[in-house]
Amino acid sequence: MGKLKDPHLEAVENDYLKRITGPELAIHEVKASAENKQAEGEAILKKIRDLSLGGACHLVALTEWGKRSTSVAFSEWTAQLLERPAKIFFIIAGAEGFSEEVLANCNERISLSELTFPHKLARILLVEQLYRAQTIRSGHPYHN
C-alpha cells in the first residue's frame, strides 16, 4: 500500500533491487485508500488478479503476527517458493492493517520482526532480505 516518496528510501530500495538477479522482482504499488481497510483489501486483491492473469499465485502477507525465521531459514523457504509454478506476491498492508478478505486469501503469513514497521521501511527490509537470501543460496559473503 502506498508509495515510497522519500528519495533516500527509494535509493536504498533501488540499490537492492539492482543487486537481485532473477527471478524478476517487481514492486507494484496500490494507492492507499482513505476509506478503510476493506476498500484497501479489495484494491490489493484486484491488483493481484490483474497481475496474475488467471495463473497460479502464492500470496504471502507480511505481518508482525506471521511466521518468524532466521535469514538462512528465509533463504531456504524462498528457494522452495521459487520452485513452485506460481507467481509469488508479498503483500504489505497500509496503516490500518490487512482486511480479513486479504488474510483469508493469503497462503502464508510471515514476519520480518516482532516490531511493527511503517510499510515503507518494511518494504525495504523485505527487498534486503530477498537479496540476502539470494546471496546465502549462492555462497556470496554478503550474509557474513
Find where cell 521501511 sits.
Answer: 121
The 10s digit of each residue's pLDDT in 100-133 is 999 999 999 999 998 888 888 999 999 999 999 9
Q: pLDDT under 70 in the chain at which residues? A: 1-4, 32-35
DSSP secondary structure letters along 9-62 = HHHHHHHHHHH--SS-------PPPSS-HHHHHHHHHHHHHHHHTTS-EEEEEE
CATH number for position 43: 3.40.1280.10
Confirm whether 138 is domain-assigned.
Answer: yes
Q: Report the number of distinct structural domains present in the chain.
A: 1
Find where cell 493469503 sits.
Answer: 106
Give the domain range for residue 41.
7-143
Confirm whether 1 is domain-assigned.
Answer: no
